Amino acid sequence: MDKEIAPTYYIPADGLCNKAGITAKWIHEDKLSVSAYKHITSSFKDGPTEFANTEAINIHHLQTNFIFTNPILRSLIAESNSVFLNVQQAAKQPNTKPDYIKFSRTYRSIVRACLKSIQDEMSSSVDVDKTEYANYTTIFYSVECIWHLCEILMIDPAPMNAVVPHLLDWIRFHFSSYEIRATDLLFADRDDFHESSGDFLKTVKGMIAQGQVEVARTLLRLHSKGDNSCFQVAGEILRLMPLFSVTGGLPLQKFKSKWQYWVTDTESKLATGCLSAEPELEEIIKLVVGNQEAWINLAKESRCWYEFLPGYLFYTEPGCKYFELGTYAVVWLRRWETAKGFRDSRTMTHLDRCVLKVMENDMYQVIHDIQLMCDNKWFVTHLTDLLCHCGQLQILGDQQKDVTAALRESLLFDFGASLMARDSLWLFGIDYLEHSSVEGVGAIELLLPKIPVASEKQAMKIIAVAKRKGLLEVEQEICRVQAVRSVVNNRLGNALEWAIRSHDSIFVTSIADKFLENYAKTSQIMCPDVIGNIGPKMFISPRLVFLVKYFDFHQYYRCGEFAQASELLINLLDSKITPEYFWPSLLADAIPLLEAKDQHFSSKETYVVLHHLEHQLIPLIEKKKQMVASGKDTSLNLMNDCRIEHVDEIVKLLRLSCARNLARALIHENTIV
């Protein structure tokens, strides 16, 4: 793997590692565990090394850099995710053939836009890390180049599977300097037109090498020697040159016959020395007729091995098919290495090797190699998915079993899981996991609750996703976490709302207890707006029902609706859902109604109050006194209502109030009007 592609791991300063050595083990696909270790052989004496028990052994977890935290690259994730979802949706449409070529070009346009943004940022900002951005440029240029090649060879194959025209377009796109220079020359003013520097004929040669014969002819006519006999002969040769066309042209065999006749005629003209007066012009015509020596000389000027391969095929094997391309590519590569003076292929870059494997249709190796790019597997995931949908990818595993679908699902799973680990990208990760496999859906259920929640807005977003996916347990767990966080921050109203959404009756009960305990101590009901809007959701917990109904009792009392308040209070006394610690407060609330000028309790209702006084509160007081006497509880005033100093006073006042109200009630009920 190339130096510019291979990930680099930096181990923190560790004295023991420096002295003893290290050992490492992969614990995840992109995480390495490293620790100090002295390597021993059979010649070492058996026993502890000299480093044993001298220093603490540190275990370092090293991980590749996640590049998509960069804002520019984060936009690449967002845009490509939209295209990915469109591909999945299109594949599910019955009776329609998805336009995978359009999807592929959209992916490439996203990468090109990202490259442009990176280059603009490098040129406009002085604060950016130039080395880091240069690495991004290298990575995504390689991505776009390989994707484009896969597109023209597999996703958008040419008619008759003749690949040369598409390869020429590919080369012109990625090596555009000749075309740009030719455009400048064509549109330059005649006064500013100069060709003496040698750049002119070099541009013409570049146009010829990229198969743009007509542009080359036009440039030759612009030359100051355009009327010279040599230039006239060269122009005529190029004019008569037969061009292979996959649509509407001659059949391949007839074209080859015509081509061979033209080559023989041109070589005979060259043999006469008609162009010897212009050596560079003669060299250009030799390229056109496929002269091996001329092409080897041109290969010396190339920046990479495949720059002039399409042009060479255009003049020697214009009808080349994809299944033949690998053979021609290897032959050309050997000539290129010879021309450059390279002894082997170790001088090739990672991009060079990937291009060769694509041309050889060795997609197993291509998939392997592009995973080594430091793009966190964005490229291999999206390209594999698209090729699988196109039916243009087949990977055979053990026993020649087709594992293409399993490979696609595995890549989607890994990429989705890596995005789920990022605070700002987890939403995109869900889409990839959802389309990976059954395990992907399970991973969503496991990973969603582990997303760090920075705000309630983010929590609501996670809950919405869980609800959309039907993950009820995830929704409830997130609500519980938010409820606990609110309790810690003493936001009990908010905590109660989250607890209700979690559908955890035990948790709701514990928070409702906090409201009731606070009222028993302060005689103030907290968060009345929250309690007043609970509505039917109160039935999740009996304690919450009691809290809401007790709140309603207070509302009736505050509004002067004493009849409704009295009726509700009796219902609460008989409800059997009153918490033990709240009996003093609840019975104390009956005293003002019993002592009111107008009678609100009948004799039967008064007996109810007395019954609960004697059978609920009195036994509770006795039990409390026994606990204090035995030393199990030292807090004698635990059940005191804040409105009365001692609970015994509640008992005395209640008995007296009940006696008075009962006397009035009996007289009233037995009086004949």
What's the pLDDT tens digit per position in 25-45?
Answer: 877 666 778 877 777 776 766
Model pLDDT, residue 1: 42
Specify the range with the lowest mean pLDDT, choosing from 210-214, 245-249, 355-359, 538-542: 245-249
- Residue 62's pLDDT band, with cuts at 50, 70 and 90, is confident
Task: Please indicate, yes or no, whether residues 584 and 516 belong to a single structural domain of this protein.
Answer: no
Q: What is the dihedral of CA 414, 418, 421, 424, to 10 degrees?
A: -130
Q: What residue spans of 151-251 are helical by DSSP H?
A: 164-174, 177-187, 199-209, 213-222, 229-240
497 and 566 fall within a common domain: no
CA distances from 312 to 208, 215, 307, 628 (A): 10, 17, 10, 103
Average pLDDT across the chain, whole number: 87
pLDDT over 50 at 638, yes or no: no
636: pLDDT strictly greater than 60: no
pLDDT for 4: 44
* Mean pLDDT of the region 120-139: 87
Dist. CA 462–CA 471, nearest whole Å: 11
The rounded distance, in Å, linking the Cα atoms of 103 and 386 is 8
Which pLDDT belongs to residue 329? Answer: 96
**Mean pLDDT value across residues 192-203:** 70
Is residue 298 assigned to a domain?
Answer: yes
Q: Minimal CA–CA distance to 545: which of 581, 585, 505?
A: 505
Distance separating alpha carbons of residues 31 and 131, to the nearest angstrom: 23
Amino acid 648: pLDDT: 76
Query: pLDDT at residue 188 above 80?
Result: no
214 in any annotated domain: yes
Any domain includes 193? yes
What pLDDT is stored for residue 632 in this prediction?
63
Taking the C-alpha atoms of residue 431 and residue 420, their distance in angstroms, rounded to an integer, is 10
Average pLDDT over residues 95-110: 91
Give the pLDDT band (50/70/90) at residue 96. confident
Rg (CA), the chain: 42
Supply the pLDDT for residue 520.
85
* Domain stops at, among 313, 343, 364: 364
Instruction: Identify which has the larger pLDDT, 256 or 170.
Output: 170
Q: Where a domain ends, among 328, 349, 364? A: 364
**483 with 575, same domain?**
no
Signed CA dihedral, 278, 284, 287, 288: sign only: negative
What integer pLDDT is reported at residue 7 of this predicted model?
56
With a cut of 60, say whether residue 197 has pLDDT above it. no
629 and 515 within one domain:
no
290-319 average pLDDT score = 93
Q: Which amino acid is at 665?
A: A
Amino acid at 204: V
For residue 137, tell me if it sits in a domain. no
Say which range, 181-190, 281-290, 330-339, has the weakest mean pLDDT: 181-190
- The pLDDT tens digits of the residues spanning 494-522 come to 999 999 999 999 999 999 999 999 998 88
Does residue 190 carry a pLDDT above 80? Answer: no
User: Are 526 and 565 found together in one domain?
Assistant: no
Q: How far is 227 from 57, CA to CA, in rounded Å?
A: 82
Buried b (16+ CB within 10 A) or exposed e, 448-463: bbebebeeeeebeebb
Tokens standing for residue 487: 């309790």
Mean per-residue pLDDT, 436-452: 89
pLDDT at 9: 59
Residue 142 has pLDDT above 80, yes or no: yes
pLDDT for 426 beyond 80: yes
Domain enclosing residue 275, as ranges: 169-364
Average pLDDT for residues 440-461, to the nearest whole number? Answer: 90
Across 113-127, 436-450, 611-625, least confident range? 611-625
More confident residue, 384 or 657: 384
Average pLDDT of the segment spanning 171-188: 90
The per-residue pLDDT for 229 is 87
Q: How far is CA 489 from the centre of its chain?
A: 32
Q: Is the pLDDT assigned to residue 328 strictly greater than 90?
A: yes
400 or 425, greater pLDDT:
425
- Residue 573: predicted pLDDT: 92
Same domain, 321 and 463: no
How close are the terminal C-alpha atoms of the chain, in Å?
108
Same domain, 221 and 356: yes
Which of 589, 501, 582, 521 has the alpha carbon at shortest distance from 546? 582
Residues 510 and 583 in one domain: no
Local structure of 193: helix, strand or coil:
coil
Q: Whole-angstrom Cα distance, residue 236 to residue 229?
A: 10
Quick check: is 45 in a domain? yes
Q: Are 154 and 170 in contact (CB under 8 A)?
A: no
In this predicted model, which residue has the larger pLDDT, 191 or 583? Answer: 583
Over the stretch 391-412, which tens digit does the pLDDT of each residue have?
Answer: 888 887 766 778 889 999 999 9
Model's pTM, two decimal places?
0.81
Residue 645 pLDDT > 90, yes or no? no
CB-hemisphere CA count at 13 Å for 210?
Answer: 24
Question: What is the mean predicted confidence (pLDDT) over 460-465?
Answer: 92
pLDDT range class, residue 60, cuts 50, 70, 90: confident
- Asked if residue 256 belongs to a domain, the reply is yes
**Average pLDDT value for residue range 155-169:** 88
- Whether residues 275 and 359 share a domain: the answer is yes
Percent pLDDT > 70 in the chain is 90
SS (H, E, C) 242-257: CCCCCCCCCCHHHHHH
Looking at the structure, tell me whether residues 48 and 173 fall in a common domain.
no
Confidence (pLDDT) at 151 = 95
Span 567-595, average pLDDT: 90
The pLDDT confidence band at residue 670, using thresholds 50, 70 and 90, is confident
- The average pLDDT across 103-114 equals 96
How many residues are listed for the chain in this entry?
Answer: 673
Residue 488 lies in a domain: yes
Mean pLDDT of 49-63: 75
Residue (of 83, 139, 79) closest to 115 by Cα position = 139
What pLDDT score does 192 carry?
Answer: 58
pLDDT value of residue 287: 94
Percent of the chain surpassing pLDDT 90: 53
**Dihedral through CA 275, CA 277, CA 278, CA 279, nearest 10?**
90
How many C-beta neighbours within 10 Å does residue 373 have? 25
- Structural domain total, the chain: 4
Query: Is 226 in the same domain as 307?
Result: yes
Q: Does residue 476 share a domain with residue 612?
A: no
Beta bridge partners of 31: 28, 63
Name the domain boundary from 320, 337, 364: 364
- Is 149 part of a structural domain of the chain? no
Greater model confidence, 148 or 343: 148
